[in-house]
Amino acid sequence: MERLPGFRDFYPEPLPSHDAGWSFDARQYIFDKWRETARRYGFREYDGPPLESLELFTTKSGDEIVGQLYNFTDKGDRAVALRPEMTPTLARMVAAHERNYKKPIKWFAIPQLFRYERQQKGRLREHFQFNADLIGETDPAADAELIALLIDTLRAFGLTKEDFVLRLSSRNAWHEFYETGRDGVSPSQKTDEYDFFQTIDKLERTPPQESETKLAALGFSLADVTQFIESGKPTVELQSILDNLAARGLREFVKVDYHVIRGLAYYTGTVFEAFDAKGEFRAIAGGGRYNNLVKLISGGRVDLPALGFGMGDVVLLELLRARDLLPKFDATTDVYVLIEDEPLRAQSLKLTQNLRAAGYAVDYPLTPTKSDKQFKRAQELKVGYTARVESDDYVRIRNMKTREEVVAGFADVANHLG
Amino acid sequence: MERLPGFRDFYPEPLPSHDAGWSFDARQYIFDKWRETARRYGFREYDGPPLESLELFTTKSGDEIVGQLYNFTDKGDRAVALRPEMTPTLARMVAAHERNYKKPIKWFAIPQLFRYERQQKGRLREHFQFNADLIGETDPAADAELIALLIDTLRAFGLTKEDFVLRLSSRNAWHEFYETGRDGVSPSQKTDEYDFFQTIDKLERTPPQESETKLAALGFSLADVTQFIESGKPTVELQSILDNLAARGLREFVKVDYHVIRGLAYYTGTVFEAFDAKGEFRAIAGGGRYNNLVKLISGGRVDLPALGFGMGDVVLLELLRARDLLPKFDATTDVYVLIEDEPLRAQSLKLTQNLRAAGYAVDYPLTPTKSDKQFKRAQELKVGYTARVESDDYVRIRNMKTREEVVAGFADVANHLG
């Protein structure tokens, strides 16, 4: 029986046959760094259900998203979907209990997310994502705090400014450009502005002639748009974020880049994406302000400004591997108890129990095993020490690195382990 | 918008309105203890996909299980299901790459599992489960090692022999009883023995007259069955497990109890369940040997003996709450940086950055805030210290416990934090 296409098995350590290097070890390493950085920034972890009502996702993203979802009708006739993203769940949870929390709310999660796109052969249908959000503060200081978290998260993996860049942009800047450019042409319409944003979003992947035509239909010229992007002039809001980041010593990781506008309709202000500096990979992370979402999800009951970002495990792992920044994950067994004299097995089990109770990771041969095989096993497990019960009262301890041996009293073994 | 019935939101800390006490804090506390105990026993963590082919589960449990699953047809016309248990995935993963691993394989996982039973109103449809398995060893020493892990996992939460008991039994003992009792009655048939096991499994929840009738139809008397259970005489295999546990000092946590046979058809030897000693809750954990499953799942390609157990988070949390064994989960912010002088905000951000880079969890007011409000926020966050930049060169540090204050050089703050 096979696993479903697009899903990953996480074996404890990388398999020789797994080029991609997926393993539980690597996954846990990434999760630990995410958690540790979030902790330093005062973000608290939450989680929601992996299955939600379909409506939660269509309310945010429109019915088009259904084509990309793992959605189905459950046995109670509910339209449900495996979560494709975390933000709608977060908005639902915050709206349900916002009065319990002082603002700003600083939360993060590490959900597994699911997408089903039929044509995407060979592409993953699930991934894990570090989601950090800051809710209840409109000031750009909040944007700076969240972006600083994103930068320091990548730095926690050993990535430097030679490895990645955060491209900072703003829907507000583009809105202003749109409003100004349309002066005297026609009254702006919301759908028009959305089309305009979509055209900007696709600019880098579209032939210039095509963009020119699309922009002309909206009352703009490609030359003006290109000039605006190339000026890279920060708005007052972006300048405030840049100054804030400069005070932290993080200015060099950020570049104003108005190419970034992000396709999702719901962003309302600052938007940003992190890329590897060489441009070899897809975006490492992306996010921005979504000041209207909590209101939308709560049916107007709760109105809170918010912003957040998501960072997936897949591109990040690829980048860390390419930059040789994944550590070697060694097994964590501390002691191997050698049992060479079967009458001493009971006493050896007692020693095993005592050392485990003292916090050591301990293994031993479950059944009678030849001495050399036991020693080989201890070496495979890369243990720091072996311990052999010599009598009810004494234990011979061997430091596997220094090869030094000592004989210790039975109750005294832990004192000889480093 | 509401979350789906039977699913849980995990807020960072318990909400006043959440009687059940679900919170991410509590969940993480439980996961950490599970991981820590597994580590001491030399078990390595793995994970598989939450979505698998339906066939994986029906192969193990028969088509009846479909009535209890979250199953559906995906957009590629595959019959799939959210995993209701982890063992089939484990068997699939081990069978696929068993040659990469030295035996015995000692693995654990903490999957979220899903069941959809239409009539179960108010009952949870998901839970997390600690799954530990030992693969590739038939000797009862493996059973003892796994049971010891189960016991020490519960002890890691502060539970004692006054709180829980592990009821140990054996399919082999019942098989022997069945074969002996049927001597000269009729040749035993596999379906008959399955019916017999089912009747034993339900004995404690069935009126005696009904059990009597069912047993008679299979060629047994309730009196003989009851006598066998009451004798509680360990088989050679069980005695070996008990002796092994005695050597570890864990004998007192275990009671031979032949009531336990476990309904699942696939167990082949030792079976066991852990219960709270007062009998107030459902089983805390259960498991046993399943020597045929890897062979079944791999279509006969790989044949490996195995045993394992599962321990859910729901009953465990209820028990820990009832015994007052859940710690108070305090937020983990170390330092609050007070910004009372706005011209010093940039320098305060720099201090925040430095302390975070040094590993401290640090928070600060995002926007200009009154002094007393800032101090109150620091108290709410239960920080150990406040730090106020007094000039570019000096910082005033206050120990929130002792109320002592010192003024330190800007680069020297971390040396004054405990």
Q: Say which residue the tokens 């009738």 belong to.
A: B213
Q: A273: closest CA among A259, A258, A265, A283? A: A283
Query: Which residues make Cβ contacts (< 8 Å) with residue B77, sequence separation at least 6?
Result: none
Q: A97: closest CA among A38, A35, A42, A48? A: A48
With bands split at pLDDT 50, 70 and 90, how would you rate the model's confidence at A120? low
Residue A75 φ/ψ region, left for φ over 0, alpha for ψ in the -120 to 50 degree band, beta for the rest = alpha
Closest by Cβ to B40, choosing from A80, A152, A360:
A360
pLDDT confidence of residue B118: 73
Closest by Cβ to B366, choosing from A59, A104, A360:
A104
Shortest distance between the Cα of A62 and any Cα of chain B, in A, equals: 15
Q: B259: closest CA among B320, B193, B177, B170? A: B170
The DSSP call for residue B393 is S
3 state DSSP class of A79: strand
Query: Which residues make Cβ contacts (< 8 Å) with residue A19, sequence separation at least 6?
Result: none
C-beta neighbour count of A305 within 10 angstroms: 22
Q: What is this structure's pTM?
A: 0.95
Shortest distance between the Cα of B400 and any Cα of chain A, in A, equals: 18
> How many angstroms separate the CA atoms of B210 and B192, rounded?
17
Burial A191-203 (b: 16+ CB within 10 A, else e): ebbeebbebbbeb
pLDDT confidence of residue A186: 59
Half-sphere exposure of B112 (CA within 13 A, CB side): 17
- Please indicate if any CB of chain A lies within 8 Å of the CB of B277: no
- Please indicate if any CB of chain B lies within 8 Å of the CB of A53: yes
Q: Give the residue-averaged pLDDT of A123-148.
A: 97
Shortest distance between the Cα of B285 and any Cα of chain A, in A, equals: 21
- Please indicate if any CB of chain A lies within 8 Å of the CB of B357: yes
pLDDT confidence of residue A121: 66
The DSSP call for residue B72 is E
Q: For chain B, how many helices (H) and strands (E)?
A: 13, 17
Stated as kind and residue range, the H or E segment containing A335 is strand A335-338
Q: Say which residue the tokens 């108005």 belong to.
A: A258
B24 neighbors B10 (Cβ within 8 angstroms): yes
Residues on chain B touching A151 (C-beta within 8 angstroms)? none
Phi, psi (rounded to 5 degrees) for A315? -65, -40
DSSP H stretches of helix in B342-391: 345-357, 371-380
- Which amino acid type is present at position B154? L
Closest by Cβ to A40, choosing from B73, B74, B359:
B359
- Please indicate if any CB of chain A lies within 8 Å of the CB of B409: no
Q: Give the residue-averaged pLDDT of A334-343.
A: 96
Q: Helix axis angle, B236-247 relative to B140-156, nearest 10°?
A: 50
Whole-Å CA distances, B37 to A70, A207, A353, B218, B273? 36, 58, 12, 44, 19
3 state DSSP class of B60: helix
pLDDT confidence of residue A193: 83
Supply B37's token pair. Answer: 């105990």
> How many angstroms separate the CA atoms of B418 and B397, rounded?
12
A50-76 per-position pLDDT tens digit? 999 999 999 988 888 888 999 999 999
DSSP string over A163-188: TEEEEEEEHHHHHHHHHHHTTTT---
- Which amino acid type is present at position A317? L
- pLDDT, one tens digit for every residue, chain B (418 residues): 899 999 999 999 877 766 566 899 999 999 999 999 999 999 999 999 999 999 999 998 888 888 899 999 999 999 999 999 999 999 999 999 999 899 999 999 999 999 997 766 668 999 999 999 999 999 999 999 999 999 999 999 999 999 999 999 999 999 889 888 765 555 556 678 888 888 999 998 999 999 999 998 888 999 999 999 999 999 999 999 999 999 999 999 999 999 999 876 789 999 999 999 999 999 999 999 999 999 999 999 999 999 999 999 999 999 999 999 999 887 679 999 999 999 999 999 999 999 999 999 999 999 999 999 999 999 999 999 999 999 999 999 999 999 999 999 999 999 999 7
Residues on chain B touching A139 (C-beta within 8 angstroms)? 366-367
Per the document, the length of chain A is: 418
With bands split at pLDDT 50, 70 and 90, how would you rate the model's confidence at A18? low
Contact A350 B78 (CB under 8 A): no
Shortest distance between the Cα of B140 and any Cα of chain A, in A, equals: 9
C-beta neighbour count of B38 within 10 angstroms: 24
pLDDT confidence of residue B188: 56
Closest by Cβ to A78, choosing from B4, B96, B361:
B4
Supply B416's token pair. Answer: 């004054």
Q: A123: closest CA among A28, A20, A30? A: A20
> How many angstroms separate the CA atoms of A216 and B367, rounded?
42
> How many angstroms separate the CA atoms of B220 and B213, rounded?
9
pLDDT confidence of residue A115: 95
Shortest distance between the Cα of A184 and any Cα of chain B, in A, equals: 39
Contacting A residues, span 287-306, partner chain B, CB-CB under 8 Å = 297-299
Whole-Å CA distances, B231 to B201, B224, B257, B258? 17, 11, 9, 9
Shortest distance between the Cα of B274 and any Cα of chain A, in A, equals: 20
Closest by Cβ to A4, choosing from B73, B78, B349:
B78
Closest by Cβ to B93, choosing from A11, A116, A332:
A11
> How many angstroms separate the CA atoms of A223 and B388, rounded?
50
pLDDT confidence of residue A190: 65
Q: Is the ipTM of this complex over 0.85?
A: yes
> How many angstroms separate the CA atoms of B6 and B123, rounded?
6
Q: Say which residue the tokens 């599962």 belong to.
A: B310
Contact A4 B346 (CB under 8 A): no
B38 neighbors A85 (Cβ within 8 angstroms): no
Size of interface A-B (CB pairs under 8 A): 229
Burial A66-91 (b: 16+ CB within 10 A, else e): eebbbbbebeeeeebbbbbbbbbbbb
Beta strands in B197-305 (DSSP E): 254-256, 270-276, 285-289
pLDDT confidence of residue A194: 82
A347-401 per-position pLDDT tens digit? 999 999 999 999 999 999 999 999 999 999 999 999 999 999 999 999 999 999 9
Q: What angle do CA B241, B94, A376 make, to 5 degrees?
A: 65
- Please indicate if any CB of chain B lies within 8 Å of the CB of A7: yes
Phi, psi (rounded to 5 degrees) for B52? -135, 170
Closest by Cβ to A92, choosing from B3, B114, B362:
B3
Contact B357 A17 (CB under 8 A): no
Supply B116's token pair. Answer: 């959809």
Cα-to-chain-centroid distance, residue B233: 30
B273 neighbors B283 (Cβ within 8 angstroms): yes
> In terms of CA atoms, which chain B residue is nearest residue A17?
B97
B150 neighbors B285 (Cβ within 8 angstroms): yes
Phi, psi (rounded to 5 degrees) for A368? -50, 130
Per the document, the length of chain B is: 418
Residues on chain B touching A15 (C-beta within 8 angstroms)? 97, 100
User: With 0-12 CB in 10 A as exposed, 13-18 as middle and 19+ as buried, what is A318?
Assistant: middle
Half-sphere exposure of A107 (CA within 13 A, CB side): 27
Contact A47 B59 (CB under 8 A): no
Contact B3 A332 (CB under 8 A): no
A104 neighbors A132 (Cβ within 8 angstroms): no
pLDDT confidence of residue B179: 85
Residues on chain B touching A361 (C-beta within 8 angstroms)? 39-42
Closest by Cβ to B249, choosing from A46, A53, A350:
A350
What is the radius of gyration, based on Cα positions, of chain A? 28
pLDDT confidence of residue A358: 96
Contacting A residues, span 104-123, partner chain B, CB-CB under 8 Å = 104, 106-107, 112, 114, 116, 118
- Please indicate if any CB of chain A lies within 8 Å of the CB of B213: no
User: With 0-12 CB in 10 A as exposed, 13-18 as middle and 19+ as buried, what is B208?
Assistant: exposed
A8 neighbors A124 (Cβ within 8 angstroms): yes
pLDDT confidence of residue A219: 86
Half-sphere exposure of B192 (CA within 13 A, CB side): 16
> How many angstroms separate the CA atoms of B221 and B394, rounded?
87
Among residues of chain A, what percentage have pLDDT more than 70? 95
- Please indicate if any CB of chain B lies within 8 Å of the CB of A241: no
Cα-to-chain-centroid distance, residue A336: 36
> In terms of CA atoms, which chain B residue is nearest residue A18?
B97
Half-sphere exposure of B159 (CA within 13 A, CB side): 28
